[in-house]
Amino acid sequence: MSTALAVTCPDHLLAASDRHTPHAHVLSPPGEQPLDAALAETQGLLERHGHLVTVYPATLPLRHRHRLHTVRSLLESRRIALLPVELPPLATGVLVRQLRQLSLCDFTPGVLGAAARLLTHYLYAGAVLGSVAKLDRVPVGVTSHARSWLPGSRFAVLAAPTPELVRLGTPEADAGLTAPQFATELTVAPGGLAADWALHTLPARWRVGHVHQAPLPRDSADWWGTARLTEFVAAIPDVSVLYQLVASVRRDECPGCGLEMIGDRCAFCAASLPPPPPAASASRAPAASAHPAAPPAHAPPEPAVADPRGIRP
């Protein structure tokens, strides 16, 4: 029985590169679905899949967030994980796609849920912006703010894993944004700005394997502070590499709900691991919340994958 995945916006359901990757379910906002229908839908998912992992942006409207927590509370279920992420909209969709790939592997629900936190360290999420005057999610200097008013100004911005900003067409842009030190593919979502830099210049500098285009999420303009943008994300595409990244992290039993987990906090009940004894601290393996290690240079053997024919989309 595979763990079900859910999102709160259809824009976070990006096309998969293969026909085996399952879909995620879309949990509608309160204005589009009454509470009793939401309860019935979620209960059905739990009956079919056993556990449900819901990934949603930290910027989700308050009413929608309340609905998610209300459903979990009324069902009195610790089998529902609610995972807010601080990523830009396109990167949220890429993260969900990676979790969809991993949901076919032999990970337990607690490990799959906690993998979301781990994999965010390996997403290089940014955008090309026509203005940074209203950008408040990445540090912007006074000079860059002033240059936003110059006609034709464009800025390359990286929001994750580490914020960066360069103005294109200047000497500082020659160095570009910090590139991933592992094999990636690039997903680009053109918006109200020419996408040539993201589609051609950036892939050459970052040496990405392939470039894929996707529709621009509807909330990207609000997240980046301008409608003049092209969003991009570089991510690990190979499920075998993703599998080894997750499988290499120490696993523990959650002290709250008993699920297997990685990292220092359970994705389902939010219980934290007790601190290790002083003598064991030095020998304890790093958790998922620690500084992430580099992905393996060579693809490991294929992970154990469930038969996708028995999984409902």
Q: Give the tens place of pLDDT for each residue, 177-231.
A: 999 999 999 999 999 899 999 999 999 999 999 999 999 999 999 999 999 999 9
Which amino acid makes up residue 216? L
Q: Which run of H or of E encompasses 251?
A: strand 251-253
- The yes-or-no verdict on residue 254 having pLDDT over 60 is yes
> Would you state the pLDDT for residue 137?
85
Calpha distance 50→32 (Å, rounded): 26
- The position carrying tokens 């912007």 is 140
Q: Give the tens place of pLDDT for each residue, 117-169.
A: 999 999 999 999 999 989 988 877 544 444 544 546 899 999 999 999 999 98
Q: How many CA atoms lie within 13 A of 57 on its CB side?
A: 22
- The yes-or-no verdict on residue 285 having pLDDT over 60 is no
- The yes-or-no verdict on residue 23 having pLDDT over 80 is yes
Mean pLDDT for 42-69 is 97
pTM for the full predicted model = 0.86
> Would you state the pLDDT for residue 2?
79
> Would you state the pLDDT for residue 153?
82
Angstrom distances, CA of residue 228 to CA of 135, 221, 222: 12, 8, 11
The residue extents of the domains of the chain are: 4-122+239-275+283-310, 124-235
Determine how many CB atoms are found less than 10 A away from the CB of residue 73: 10
Give CATH for domain 124-235. 3.30.1180
